[in-house]
Amino acid sequence: MIIRLGYLITFFNFMVQIKYFSLNGQSYYINQNLTLLEIITYFNYNNSLLVLELNHLVYNKNKWHQTFINNHDKLEIVTIVGGG
């Protein structure tokens, strides 16, 4: 489950171990271990048309399925669009 930060954060802190992360400047928290690929899938990104940066490092697509979100991670996703 991915939840945007809100008023119930204090309540949830007592119930489960929560990891906070940011995605493109928005703060979220999760109560389970999720990989980068699961985050991309959850937010409906087309993984063939994006670049993913985790904590200021660009991550290769081959590692997305084995790299887990940690507490206070910072993700930036840049999508590639064509035009002319």
Task: Give per-residue pLDDT as tens, 34-59.
Answer: 999 999 999 999 888 899 999 999 99
CA gap 82, 44 in Å, rounded: 19
Query: Which of the 8 DSSP states describes residue 83?
Result: -
Q: Concatenate the DSSP letters of all residues of 66-77 into one string.
A: TPBP-TTEEEEE
Per cent of the chain over pLDDT 70 is 80
* pLDDT single digits (tens) 54-67: 999 999 999 999 99
- DSSP per position, 6-73: -TTHHHHHHHS--EEEEETTEEEEESS--BHHHHHHHTT--TTSEEEEETTEE--GGGTTTPBP-TTE
